[in-house]
Amino acid sequence: MWEYSEKLKDHFFNPRNVGRIDDADAVGEVGSIACGDALKIYLKIRDGVIVDVKFETFGCGSAIASASALTEMIKGKTIEEARKITNKDIAEYLGGLPPQKMHCSVMGWEALDVALKSYEGKGKGVEHVEKEDEGRIVCHCFGVPEGLIKKAIVENDLKSVEEITNYTKAGGGCGSCLMDLEEILKETRREMEFENKVKKCIESEIRPMLMRDGGDVEIVKVEGEKVYLKLKGMCAHCPSSTYTLKAFVEAKLKESVSENLEVLEG
């Protein structure tokens, strides 16, 4: 028998903000009834602030509680603040979710992401229309794309295929995607380890040196062994910034992380 917190039960039995907003400024729809869970959220936005939010869902108690919690968490928040909310925050707000139900918090996170993308004109507000953004579909039983699986692994520090299934439902049907999930897990963990080494080297060796001259550096993104960086402070205006990036930053990272690493300006 799964343990549910009092807060989760309260949000299940008394869900907040249920319904729809007919003149919503943004809508985010994820999941499908055929797969067992679906969630649609509606946002009313004024001057960059979410002034009203409603949801409709088809799912279990945890899905209802997660959606209800999400609406309470984002009401009155700016778009930037709402963007920072992850599935972990939803689960924490509810006092935790059973591992097998973590996918309900991921569904809320995804619905918010889809709604905000549609508001910013980067999508149509319907996840299944936008899935090409998230790469190939890995689990056909539940229509789970590679991008969502990777995002869940990174955000929640997932370490097993079983955890991936708990968080995304991928692998929870016929099982024919399990080998793919294993591969994605290995590759993503490798990328995470690489990025952590880069961060550690920047924190402990590179940043202190740059700061001596009033400079700094920020990681923009890491793609494979390509590290995109931005010099800041005095370094950003220095005429030899490209030289600093290549001759000092790249050389240090190659020495500490990987010989094949390449630093590019982000």
Q: Please identify which residue in 60, 79, 141, 219 interacts with ligand FES, judged by CB under 6 A.
A: 141
Verify binding: residue 173, ligand FES, rule CB under 6 A. Answer: yes
**Rounded to whole angstroms, how far apart are CA atoms 18 and 31?**
18
Residues in CB range of 126: below 8 A, 6 or more apart: 29, 114
Verify binding: residue 136, ligand FES, rule CB under 6 A. Answer: no
User: In DSSP terms, which residues pair with 42 in a beta bridge?
Assistant: 27, 54
Q: Which of 104, 139, 201, 235 is catalytic?
A: 104
Q: Dihedral (C-alpha) 181, 183, 188, 191: value to the nearest 10 degrees?
A: 180
Closest separation in Å from C-beta 137 to ligand FES: 9
The footprint of ligand FES on this chain (CB under 6 A) covers a number of residues equal to 11
Verify binding: residue 179, ligand FES, rule CB under 6 A. Answer: no
Verify binding: residue 36, ligand FES, rule CB under 6 A. Answer: no
User: Of 175 and 208, which has the nearer Cβ to ligand FES?
Assistant: 175
Q: Rounded to 5, what percent of the chain is helix, strand, coil?
A: 50, 20, 25
Interior angle at CA 194, CA 148 and CA 191, nearest 5:
25
Instruction: Locate 156 and state its tokens.
Output: 């929640």
Verify binding: residue 139, ligand FES, rule CB under 6 A. Answer: yes
CB 93 within 8 A of CB 73: yes
Residue 136 has what DSSP assignment?
S
The one segment of 54-62, 127-135, 137-145, 188-196 that binds ligand FES by CB under 6 A: 137-145
Active site annotation includes 201: no
User: Of 25 and 180, which has the nearer Cβ to ligand FES?
Assistant: 180
Active site annotation includes 104: yes
Q: Please identify which residue in 28, 108, 145, 171 interacts with ligand FES, judged by CB under 6 A.
A: 171
Q: Please identify which residue in 41, 170, 206, 257 interacts with ligand FES, judged by CB under 6 A.
A: 170
Place of tokens 């899905």: 63
Verify binding: residue 177, ligand FES, rule CB under 6 A. Answer: yes
Residues in CB range of 117: below 8 A, 6 or more apart: 28, 123, 125, 130
Verify binding: residue 175, ligand FES, rule CB under 6 A. Answer: yes
User: Of 1 and 33, which has the nearer Cβ to ligand FES?
Assistant: 33
Verify binding: residue 140, ligand FES, rule CB under 6 A. Answer: yes
**Rounded to whole angstroms, how far apart are CA atoms 178 and 85?**
29
Verify binding: residue 96, ligand FES, rule CB under 6 A. Answer: no
- Tell me the catalytic residues: 35, 104
Instruction: Provide the binding-site residues for ligand FES, judged by CB under 6 A.
Output: 139-141, 170-177
